[in-house]
Amino acid sequence: MTQLLTVGKVHIVLTRVVPRLARIPRLPAVLTWPAPPQAYTRLVDPLASGDGFRARVEDVVRETPRAVTLVLRPGDGWPPHRPGQWVALGVEIDGVRHTRCYSLTSVPGRPDGCITVTVQAVPDGIVSNHVGTRLAVGDLVHLAAPDGSFVLPAVRPVPLLFITGGSGITPVMGMLRSLAAARAVGDAVLVHHAPADSDVIFAADLQDLARRFPRFGLDVTLTGPGAPPPDAALTAARLDRLCPDWRRREAWVCGPAPLLDAAETLWAGPDCTGTLHVERFSAARSAPAPSGSGGHVTFGTSRCTVDSDGSETLLDLAESAGLTPTSGCRMGVCRRCVTPLRSGTVRDLRDGRTEPEPGTHVQICVSAAQGDVELDL
């Protein structure tokens, strides 16, 4: 008797087998031992993955000396994204998977089935520098489904205001490209900041948008040596000149933390009636660590103990000790780094709140030790 058993996309012919045997739940694992069924599935489809999604690098486009755009082809089942969202991108570096979050910069539903993310290298950035210098066409990367709430509403408000700095242009570029594809740019203003002309990501694309859409206002301010930084340049008087009705516009702001802080201060004014949306690429930190914080941090499962001064995140401490905990956004949004607290008290660096309850799950990317701490890691 012959029966066909399917493991993922791999078809295995079973001969002289009782028909009911093929319906045993763990039979695929038994037949494919010592490797899991997914390993054999990937022999047929390299983009198949039992953990999130995998994607092939189709192209690497140099945007600036420090920034590249990856054109990625995800495997089957990839969900559509909303312009402005981000993905957790995982790459294998020296045998260890490292994950970081990057904004999607492509229009949803591209005809070729690809998506794009744009990555700017940062000093000592393990993933961003690997992507910019070593990732090549044909390489495979890991992806999590799109996430994030820094998006345009379903009913698009008019007029629009975007304020960005550095790589903060990336989520906004995804929005602008989608608006342009729908010929719905309308009355929109972009105020962008970069150290030098050579650091302006998507410079040609932005100029093209300004030519194609007469009501799209573009201002690029250079903040290099001798010029005020973005937060000092973002003043009410300057916005009055660039966008006189900015107080009534719905605004999206993304970039360095000081720029975002300056925008929040401006929009807190009593005469501002527009809505402000902020996207941070790093966690907003509260006041300096209080006296007496810090201590010994023990990663119980790994049997490793390190010292903390109370200002470093538990994730940074774990990585500096050679551990590789699961993480993603590194700013307390995606919750991929959540880890059980065995004992001690941790402090949330964003608002100063403490969590002293053993057994609770804490976000180690935005938490620091307040005294001796032990984690189930």
Q: So what's the pLDDT on residue 54? A: 96
Give the span between the Cα atoms of 349 and 347, in whole angstroms. 6
Q: So what's the pLDDT on residue 60? A: 98
pTM metric for this prediction = 0.78
For residue 65, the enclosing domain spans 53-143
User: Which residue among 280, 306, 334 closes a domain?
Assistant: 280
Residues 24 and 71 occupy one common structural domain: no
Farthest CA pair distance, the chain: 83
Residues 198 and 274 occupy one common structural domain: yes
The amino acid occupying position 250 is E
Q: What is the CATH number of the domain that holds 221?
A: 3.40.50.80
Give the span between the Cα atoms of 311 and 294, in whole angstroms. 7
Residues 310 and 370 occupy one common structural domain: yes
Mean pLDDT by 10 residues, the chain (377 residues): 47 46 49 51 54 91 98 96 95 89 96 97 93 97 94 87 97 97 94 97 98 96 91 94 96 95 95 93 65 82 89 88 83 84 90 82 90 91
User: Which residue among 280, 308, 339 closes a domain?
Assistant: 280
Q: So what's the pLDDT on residue 311? A: 87
Region label for 124, one of left (φ > 0), alpha (ψ between -120 and 50) or beta (otherwise)? left
Is residue 301, in this structure, part of any structural domain at all? yes
Q: So what's the pLDDT on residue 308? A: 92
Is residue 154, in this structure, part of any structural domain at all? no
Number of domains composing the chain: 4
Report the length, in residues, of the chain. Answer: 377
Q: So what's the pLDDT on residue 283? A: 64
Q: What is the CATH number of the domain that holds 93?
A: 2.40.30.10
Q: What is the CATH number of the domain that holds 320?
A: 3.10.20.30
> 327-364 as b/e, with b when 16 or more CB fall inside 10 Å?
bbbbbbbbebbebebbebbbbbbbeeeebeeeeeebbb
